[in-house]
């Protein structure tokens, strides 16, 4: 989750949350909603999620990803395995000039029984556009939706947006019924019972648990499982233990340290779009000197990190975009404009550098220690700062650290690296921890943003990657793999999604 980015601000539960995961029988009941006693008995899915709701399941924050991973919400489009837009609530779309697209809607019903129509889509997109804070997917664009009859929606943007179909697949732009927006006194949007996915969110018990029921009038293939009982458990060891003892059927994000203990039948590993990298401050301090950034890059041993810290469950760094972005390797070109590295003697004369990372991902502090050792071997003097991410984001964005180690989802928001490249490495980027401002990068990113042709856009993005790597603004460390836990002899249809948006689908069930 989210994951999708270190900006996913999640609040960890106490370790005592492990007690929530003792195996329990799920009784049958004639009721359609409720707790673990809801209908479906042993065929109900028991799922342990790593991140509790942070915004009461609002679709405009990180909880939107949770709703997507539980197959509750849908937008006009979805994404295929290559990150291209595919039909969801819209069956087809076409571009009309540079600034407008028209979407044709399918016949579908919301979970509260009302019908999906153009007015509902317009209302949902307008609510997302006017939300405060605005969903991250809309941070660099403005959408205006209008109805063209009952089953056609026209969406216009202030600037050309060739990625609009992919953007509309973002869970924060889910289409909800009118009842989701009724004023409940706190200004919140309520997706429970008002979305369109194969499962209905029936109940949320704070940061502890949630209950979902099958949406029996779903427009697509009816869900095979009658419902889902979710526990939110931040401690990875507790999730792994619950899976081992059959307290849950599915445990997301199994820690690397637990993978070998679980065994191959419970561990499912797959490449992701997440790259762990070392952002170097290009604006001030020791790394304002490109020769020092080059020396830091030469000091890093990616293979040692992949085999040591990640126990072989990560891929050595190839660039900004790893195996989770399958087209990148064939289009990659050599870094451009790299400086010659400073000598060890010159490095030894520099001031102490501050290397920072965060505790929210358990491998990062250990990786930071190894990186510190590698930099010190080169001659740098290093001080490490490790805190919860929420406590250090402002300092990182403000350029307070010389080096910042983070895990970053490179297909954030639009399933295309364009938004990642623009936010992290352009002069006006909103998440530019490296403080980079380089004309070749801005030019390549701007060119990519103007290209509707996917292949041409990807080539421009790789030109930007070559310039970013040439500037040593970020030193890639490893490309992470995700580990999802479930018994493949018993549970079928779990989605292994490099983009982190999908976990449960209509096909997920107890075999």
pLDDT at 371: 98
Our CA dihedral for 33, 38, 44, 50, rounded to 10 degrees, sits at: 70
pLDDT confidence of 18, banded at 50, 70, 90? very low
Residues 254 and 484 sit within 8 Å (Cβ to Cβ): yes
pLDDT at 22: 38
- Of 215, 264, 266, residue with least CA distance to 240: 266
Q: Please, how many CA atoms are within 13 Å of residue 212, restricted to the half-sphere of its CB?
A: 33
Whether this model's pTM surpasses 0.75 = yes
For the chain, residues classed under CATH 3.90.76.10 are 74-182
Q: Determine the Cα–Cα distance for residues 335 and 341; give it in Å rounded to an integer.
A: 14
CATH topology of domain 74-182: Dipeptide-binding Protein; domain 1 (3.90.76)
Q: Which CATH class is domain 1-72+197-266+487-511?
A: alpha beta
pLDDT at 339: 97
Checking if the pLDDT of 19 tops 50, the result is no
Phi then psi for 41, rounded to 5 degrees? 55, -135
291 three-state secondary structure = helix
* Rounded mean pLDDT, 437-466: 94
CATH architecture classification, 274-480 = Roll (3.10)
Checking if the pLDDT of 21 tops 70, the result is no
Q: Determine the Cα–Cα distance for residues 74 and 47; give it in Å rounded to an integer.
A: 20
Checking if the pLDDT of 227 tops 70, the result is yes
For the chain, residues classed under CATH 3.10.105.10 are 274-480
* Rounded mean pLDDT, 272-288: 96
pLDDT confidence of 40, banded at 50, 70, 90? low
Tens digits of residue pLDDT in 133-192: 888 888 778 999 999 999 999 999 998 999 999 999 999 999 999 999 986 555 689 999
Angle (CA) 166 169 171, round 5°:
140
Find the farthest-apart pair of alpha carbons in the chain and give their distance in angstroms, rounded. Answer: 76
For the chain, residues classed under CATH 3.40.190.10 are 1-72+197-266+487-511
Tens digits of residue pLDDT in 403-442: 999 999 898 788 899 989 998 999 988 889 999 999 999 9
């Amino acid at each position: 989750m989210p994951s999708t980015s270190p900006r996913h601000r999640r609040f960890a539960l106490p370790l005592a949350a492990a007690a929530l995961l003792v195996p329990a029988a799920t009784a049958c009941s004639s009721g359609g909603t409720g707790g673990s006693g809801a209908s479906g008995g042993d065929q109900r899915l028991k799922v342990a999620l790593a991140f509790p709701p942070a915004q009461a399941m609002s679709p405009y924050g990180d909880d939107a990803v949770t709703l997507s991973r539980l197959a509750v919400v849908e937008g006009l489009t979805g994404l295929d395995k290559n990150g291209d837009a595919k039909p969801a609530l819209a069956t087809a779309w076409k571009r009309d000039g540079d600034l407008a697209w028209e979407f044709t809607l399918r016949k579908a019903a919301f979970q509260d029984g009302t019908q999906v129509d153009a007015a509902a889509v317009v209302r949902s997109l307008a609510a997302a556009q006017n939300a405060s804070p605005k969903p991250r997917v809309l941070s660099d664009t403005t959408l205006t939706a209008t109805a063209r009859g009952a089953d056609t929606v026209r969406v216009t943007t202030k600037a050309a947006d060739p990625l609009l179909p992919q953007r509309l697949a973002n869970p924060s732009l889910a289409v909800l019924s009118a009842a989701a927006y009724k004023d409940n006194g706190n200004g919140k949007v309520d997706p429970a019972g008002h979305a369109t996915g194969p499962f209905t969110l029936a109940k949320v018990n704070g940061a502890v648990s949630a209950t979902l029921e099958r949406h029996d009038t779903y427009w697509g293939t009816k869900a095979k499982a009658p419902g889902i009982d979710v526990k939110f458990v931040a401690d990875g060891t507790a999730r792994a233990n619950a899976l081992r003892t059959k307290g849950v059927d599915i445990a997301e994000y199994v820690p690397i340290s637990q993978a070998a203990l679980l065994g191959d039948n419970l561990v499912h590993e797959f490449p992701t779009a997440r790259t762990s990298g070392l952002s170097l401050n290009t604006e001030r301090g020791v790394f304002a000197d490109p020769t020092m950034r080059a020396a830091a890059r030469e000091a890093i041993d990616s293979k040692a990190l992949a085999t040591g810290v990640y126990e072989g469950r990560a891929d050595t760094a190839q660039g900004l975009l790893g195996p989770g972005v399958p087209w990148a390797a064939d289009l990659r070109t050599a870094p451009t404009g790299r400086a010659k590295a400073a000598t060890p003697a010159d490095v030894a004369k520099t001031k102490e550098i501050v290397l920072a990372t965060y505790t929210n991902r358990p491998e990062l502090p250990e990786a930071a220690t190894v990186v510190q050792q590698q930099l010190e071997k080169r001659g740098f003097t290093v001080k490490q700062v490790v805190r919860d991410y929420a406590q250090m984001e402002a300092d990182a964005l403000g350029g307070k650290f010389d080096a910042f180690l983070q895990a970053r989802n490179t297909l954030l928001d639009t399933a295309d690296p364009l938004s990642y490249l623009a936010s992290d490495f352009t002069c006006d980027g909103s998440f530019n921890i490296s403080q980079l401002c380089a004309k070749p990068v801005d030019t390549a990113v701007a060119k990519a943003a103007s290209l509707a042709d996917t292949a041409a856009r990807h080539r421009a993005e790789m030109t930007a990657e070559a310039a970013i790597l040439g500037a040593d603004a970020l030193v890639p460390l490893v490309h992470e793999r995700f580990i999802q836990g479930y018994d493949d002899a018993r549970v079928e249809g779990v989605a292994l999604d490099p983009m982190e948006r999908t976990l449960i689908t209509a096909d997920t069930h107890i075999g």
